Structures are given as C-alpha cells and as structure tokens.
Amino acid sequence: MSEKLESLESLARLAKETSAEKRRELLHEVSNLFLEKPEEISSRESDYFADIMGKIAFDLEMEVRRDMAERLAKVDAAPHKLMKMLANDKIEVARPVLMESGVLNNADLIEIIKRHSQEHLMAVSVRKSISEDVTDHLVERGDDSVLETLTRNEGAAFTQKSLEIMVNRAEDNETLHEPLIKREDIPAYMKHQMFLFVSSALRKHILENVEDIDESEVDKMIEESRAALDYQGGEEALSPAERFIIRKENFKQLNHDLLVQLLRQGKIAEFIAGLGRLANIDTAAAHRITFDKGGEPLAVACKAIGIDRITFSDLLLLTNQEGLRDQAERDDLIGVYTRITTEAAQRTIRFWRTRKQIMKNLGKK
C-alpha cells in the first residue's frame, strides 16, 4: 500500500472530527494532497479522495465547496463522483465545474440541464466543446440568454433540428440575429429565412456573403410542403382581396402596372395579395415584405418577379406612406435592387414560398 494511500486512510479517520474548523483544515490538507500529482493517483485512491472530500465538504459552508470546485475544475483526473456532486450544487459552487471540468460526461451534463436552473444551463453553454446531444437539451430548455451564449460558442455543435428551433426563436429575439447569421454551420436557406426579420445591415450581409441556396434543399422542402398541404385538405379560405386578384389573373390583368395602380388607389390588401400571387408566396409573407421598414425584402421580391428599376422606385415611394424612408435610404435600396441578380433573388423567393409550412411544422402559427 502506498505511503499516499496510508495517509489517506489516516485522513479518513480524522473525517469523524466534529469541529468545523478542524474539518476545513482537513479538507484543505486532502485537497493539497490530491492536487500534488493527480495523474499518478490510482482509481482506488481517487475513490478515497472523493469519499473524504464529499463527506467533509458537503457538511461545511458553501464558500468551502466553491473553493474546492474552483481548484478541481481544471483537473482532468478529479474524481467523477465528487465532480458530479459539485456540478449539482448551488450555482456558485457548480459554475466552475460546469464551465471547465472535462470529467463530466454528456449524460452528466444532460441530467443537470434537465434538473437545474437557467444559471446552470448558462454555465454549460460556455464550455469549450459541447456535443450535439447536450446542445439539443440546452436549446429545448434554455432561455433567450442561454441561447445567445450558446449561439456565440464556436465549440458548440448543433443538429439541424436545434438550428431550426433557434432560427424560429430568433424571430422574437433580436439578440440571436447577428450570432446566428454569422455562424458558419447555419445552412444558407435558414439565413435566407431570417432575411425577413433581421436588420438592414444583416440583410446586406446575407445578400453579399451568404452562398446561394442549395436548390436540392429547397426542392425537398417544397415537396414536403405540398405533401403537408394535400394532407390538410388544401389552402385556407381566400380573403376578398385574394379573390379579387385571382379574378384579375384569370382575365390576364395581373401585372406590374396593376400593383402600382392598386397602391395609388390605396388598395393595400389587394396589392399584398397581388404581390403574393405574382411571387407565389403566402399572403403573410407578402404583407411582411410590403410593410418592412428596411425595404430589402421588397427589393428582392421585385427583382425576382421581373419588376423594372423605375417601377420598383415607384413602389418604394408608394409603400412609404408614413414617410419613414428618406431619399438617401431609397437610393440605397435601389442600389440593393441593382446589385442583386435575378437568379439570386429567385432562389431566395423559392425558400420564402416554403416559409409558411415550415413555420407551421415548427409550431409557429
């Protein structure tokens, strides 16, 4: 039996000491003994350490446990049983262990995510490396702050399901916009989905930096959307404005000039329905494009359906009913319209066509 193990057995007997001061001294002594050369300690000796530290530390005040957690968090040879106990403690104790300890496995982290506070989840979300299984549970239970931290963590791996949930959550959480758009593992089609609700600066980033949507991905989504619509028994009931536009279409009167005419007549609902019909997107998306303060979605939609530059300029003025865009902003939008290619705009529109069904599938009614 090694000299170190004999010392541990002596310390184990001293663990029966009832004095709090003596027990603190004992815990410090045991910790120092362990931290001398933790990689040389056998599994049997490690179990002794865990038993002694656990019995003493959890009878003492939180500050003592926190100090021990901070000292052991970076020790790869720390006893697994003890580190689990510390990770399940109050957040002041658990934080360094959850953030740094390599002793905790995925099952340990998932159990903690299921049982503990958002502060515990936040500590897990900053780990240098986070597996997809753990990330799935963080996304499921985490609040907006946890998701933002997780999204900014380059060491976090995501499943497609988790990415879809976060993009969905981002629609109501602006703090997720920039980190999601800037992540390299976010598929292009998800970034184009976010185009409809992120800032003008991020829209420009998408148009200038995000690769074209993989057409096979879009085709797959369109087929899934069609199948779901068939199962649900077809489209929802049409509004009077939509019926008006369908009649115009049947008489071959639905065109770009009609859109301008409808806006000049103040027929906003009919304009939205007409834009949606020409672009083959749902009315909700067309409404959002029409009233978007930035104007970039309107530029993309107009370029995709072949509206010329002059007509687009007219539409910018007519949809600016509250005077929110000045001349410089309109000029900037015309620049966006000019720079984007028809092919790129049409690829973006192809995804927007599937947006309604995807939102339903994700629970966004």
- The model's confidence at residue 125, banded by pLDDT at 50, 70 and 90, is very high
Asked if residues 66 and 29 have their Cβ atoms less than 8 Å apart, the reply is no
The string of pLDDT tens digits covering residues 16-47 is: 655 666 666 666 666 676 666 666 666 676 66
Residues 84 and 98 sit within 8 Å (Cβ to Cβ): no
pLDDT band at 235 (very low <50, low <70, confident <90, very high): very low
Rg of the chain in Å (alpha carbons): 30
Residue type, 340: I
Q: What residues does 130 pair with on adjacent strands?
A: 156
Average pLDDT score over residue span 120-136: 97
pLDDT value for 254? 95
Q: What percent of the chain has pLDDT over 70?
A: 73
Q: Round the average pLDDT of the chain to a whole number and report it.
A: 82
C-alpha triplet 276, 196, 163: angle, nearest 5°: 120
Confidence (pLDDT) at 315: 94
More confident residue, 69 or 28: 69
- Rounded to whole angstroms, the Cα distance separating 51 from 79 reads 9
CA distance 29 to 27: 5
Lowest-confidence pick of 272-281, 292-301, 340-349: 340-349
pLDDT, greater one: 2 or 16 = 16
More confident position, 203 or 18: 203
pTM of the complete model? 0.70
pLDDT in tens, 99-121: 999 999 999 999 999 999 999 99
Alpha-carbon distances of 214 from 151, 192, 195, rounded to whole Å: 23, 11, 16
Q: Where are the domains of the chain?
A: 1-104, 113-205, 215-361
332, 334, 335, 339 alpha-carbon torsion, rounded to 10°: 150
